[in-house]
Amino acid sequence: MIDTNLRRLRRVDDHYTLMAEHLRQKIMSEFLCDKCGRKDDCSTYTQVSKMRHVISAIIDCSMYMAPLKFQQIDGTDGEGWNTIRLSGAWSQRVREGDTVVLVNKFNERYGTAIVRETHDGDKDEILKRHSKHNHLMKNSALKKSEMPAELERILRNAYGPRFYEAAKKMSVIYLDTEG
């Protein structure tokens, strides 16, 4: 299973880290490996997991592979689909050309995808411009003009009305599924 709680994950140049440099002392025993989509195939993780009694934390890695969790995996195949996430954080976490791991609601890996592009911006604008390519709308019988409102309803339910209203921005990540 992959830990998909990535709120403290930051991308710094060519590697990932947990929290900002000045906050590192607050991380006592966290392993970035537990939040990595590559951990089951990683020789470093295999070695580190044997030494957890000696190593207190792993908080940096240049080989890290971000997991993208999906409550509904419908439409997460093929090319040119997107996922829309609350806040602008995801547009900073992944970049064009990155490989990400697709994770289901049980935190199980079910595939990989290549990031084609990312955007962030105002919630209404993101929904208006990008909902027609969202994986949940991919096979929808809705008219394109109805898709932004339906996707807003889905996201509001997924995040809860309080979090949804508090967020000022959204990120959209366009993906091409591998294999």
Where does CATH 3.10.400.10 sit in the chain? 67-177
- Residues 6+ positions from 31 with CB-CB distance below 8 Å: 48, 52, 57, 58
Query: Average of pLDDT values for 99-104?
Result: 95
Confidence category of residue 32, pLDDT binned at 50, 70, 90 = confident
Query: What CATH code would you report for 67-177?
Result: 3.10.400.10
Cβ atoms of residues 4 and 111 within 8 Å = no
- Which pLDDT tens digit goes with each residue over 108-149? 999 999 999 999 999 999 999 999 999 999 989 999 999 999
pLDDT at residue 100, as a whole number: 96
